[in-house]
């Protein structure tokens, strides 16, 4: 199997037949074998029934995974990736906002040696204030914090080489950070402009609450990327910083006592210094506990702390 499309589906009954036609138009001329893994994320409309009919008509290409209830887009994408057999995996939305016609162009970019081809909706067809603007701000922030500069993290349409995408698990709403994780395992990324269409059927599944989630996710991602194998550097670093403040206060108090004869206990500075000392000490202890956790994390899953691109003369 060469190519797997992975598509999360939640209440998209009207879009699915058209999506299916668009995929055929885009891929029928492909020489290699391809499949579409559609994950029904506990849809409440007739999506599953439509998928069953499509799968019956096209047993060669269509695979369907159906969740017992709605687990969210990230879980649906993760399940699709788990069931995909292709050496190339292309993610896209089911709502016809992404255009399967872009896929051959993305495949040719992978052939040029990239591991991730990231779609960028240059002419985005969503409402500006509630969707495009917050998304632009989020893209800037994510690029800055993670150091992976992309214009459009929110665009699902992206193509991945299998090795770039299967080395990590996705939690919560983390699907938009897949390129960041891919980058962290050494993937080469390129951005390409892709088509975007307004939503024709059904409704968008997200509102403004997504902004808060993205910001919280970004904290997690940054922490995992930078400190997941060395948490003591973060907690211990903070702890040493706080203890230094405590020490500086104590020295200040001592100098005042010795040279100016001002009582150490006459101001709250001594108590504040003690408080900083305890805080700093706690933070270092927290770092040590995090170090224990990290060992469990890596060793329970035999997760190596490195990724290898190639081996020469090694079996």
Residues at the site binding Mg ion, with contacts judged by CB under 5 A: 93, 95, 97
Query: Greatest CA separation found in the chain?
Result: 92
- DSSP for 253-279, please give it: HHHHHHHH---GGGSTHHHHHHHHHHH
Residue 12 binds which one of ligand UDP, Mg ion, none, with CB within 5 to 8 A depending on kind?
A: ligand UDP
Q: For strands 88-91 and 158-161, give the pairing.
A: antiparallel
Q: Can residue 153 be called a binding residue for ligand UDP (CB under 6 A)? A: no
Closest approach, Cβ 8 to ligand UDP, in A, equals: 3
Residue of 14, 52, 55, 72 that binds ligand UDP (CB under 6 A):
72
Q: Using the minimum distance from each CB to ligand UDP, give the nearer residue, 41 or 115.
A: 41
d(CA 132, CA 210): 13
**Which two tokens mark 71?**
């687990």
Q: Using the minimum distance from each CB to ligand UDP, give the nearer residue, 161 or 176.
A: 176
Q: Give which of 95, 37, 42, 94 is closest to 64, Cα–Cα.
A: 37
The piece of 69-77, 224-232, 258-266, 298-306 that touches ligand UDP (CB under 6 A) is: 69-77
Residue 152 binds which one of ligand UDP, Mg ion, none, with CB within 5 to 8 A depending on kind?
A: none
Q: Using the minimum distance from each CB to Mg ion, give the nearer residue, 75 or 249.
A: 75
Q: For strands 116-120 and 189-193, give the pairing.
A: parallel
d(CA 58, CA 47): 16
Residue of 128, 171, 201, 206 that binds ligand UDP (CB under 6 A):
206
Q: Give which of 213, 218, 209 is closest to 140, Cα–Cα.
A: 218
Residue of 93, 102, 152, 217 that binds ligand UDP (CB under 6 A):
93
Residue of 13, 35, 41, 102 that binds ligand UDP (CB under 6 A):
41
CA distances from 254 to 164, 262, 264, 270, 275 (A): 57, 9, 7, 10, 17
Phi-psi label, residue 172: left if phi above 0, alpha if psi -120 to 50, beta otherwise = left
Q: Using the minimum distance from each CB to ligand UDP, give the nearer residue, 3 or 79.
A: 79
Asked if 283 and 242 touch (Cβ cutoff 8 Å), the reply is yes
Q: Using the minimum distance from each CB to Mg ion, give the nearer residue, 97 or 283.
A: 97
Residue of 94, 107, 138, 180 that binds ligand UDP (CB under 6 A):
94
Integer-rounded Cα radius of gyration of the chain: 25
What ranges in 162-267 are assigned the alpha helix state H?
A: 178-184, 209-227, 231-260
The piece of 27-35, 198-206, 274-282, 292-300 that touches ligand UDP (CB under 6 A) is: 198-206
From residue 154 to residue 173, the character string flagging contacts with ligand UDP as x (rule: CB under 6 A) and all else as - is x-------------------
Size of the site for ligand UDP (CB under 6 A): 17
Residue 102 binds which one of Mg ion, ligand UDP, none, with CB within 5 to 8 A depending on kind?
A: none
CB hemisphere CA count around 195 (13 angstroms): 12
Residue of 18, 30, 137, 204 that binds ligand UDP (CB under 6 A):
204
Using CB under 6 A as the criterion, which residues of the chain lie in contact with ligand UDP when the complex forms?
A: 8-10, 12, 41, 70, 72-73, 76, 93-95, 97, 154, 204-206
């Amino acid at each position: 199997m060469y190519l797997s499309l992975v598509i999360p589906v939640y209440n998209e009954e009207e879009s699915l037949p058209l999506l299916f036609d668009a995929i055929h138009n885009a891929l029928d001329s492909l020489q290699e074998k391809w499949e579409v893994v559609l994950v029904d994320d506990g849809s409440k409309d007739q999506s599953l029934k439509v998928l069953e009919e499509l799968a019956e008509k096209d047993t060669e290409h269509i695979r369907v995974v159906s969740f017992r209830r709605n687990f969210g887009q990230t879980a649906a994408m993760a399940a699709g990736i788990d069931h995909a057999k292709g050496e190339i995996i292309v993610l896209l939305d089911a709502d016809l906002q992404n255009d399967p016609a872009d896929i051959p162009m993305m495949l040719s970019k992978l052939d040029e040696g990239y591991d991730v081809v990231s779609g960028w909706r240059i002419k985005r067809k969503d409402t500006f204030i509630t969707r495009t603007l917050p998304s632009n701000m989020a893209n800037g922030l994510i690029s800055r914090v993670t150091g992976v500069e992309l214009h459009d993290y929110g665009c699902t349409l992206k193509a991945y080489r299998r090795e770039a995408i299967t080395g990590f698990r996705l939690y919560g709403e983390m699907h938009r950070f897949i390129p960041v994780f891919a980058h962290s395992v050494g993937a080469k990324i390129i951005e390409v402009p892709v088509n975007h269409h307004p939503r024709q059927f059904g409704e968008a599944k997200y509102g403004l609450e997504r902004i808060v989630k993205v910001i919280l996710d970004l904290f997690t991602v940054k922490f995992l990327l930078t400190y997941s194998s060395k948490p003591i550097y973060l907690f211990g670093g903070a702890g040493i910083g706080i203890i230094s403040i405590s020490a500086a206060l104590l020295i200040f108090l001592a100098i005042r006592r010795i040279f100016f004869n001002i009582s150490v206990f006459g101001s709250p500075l001594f108590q504040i210094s003690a408080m900083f000392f305890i805080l700093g000490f706690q933070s270092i202890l927290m770092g040590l506990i995090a170090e224990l956790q990290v060992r469990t994390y890596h060793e329970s899953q035999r997760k190596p702390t490195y990724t290898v691109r190639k081996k020469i003369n090694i079996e």
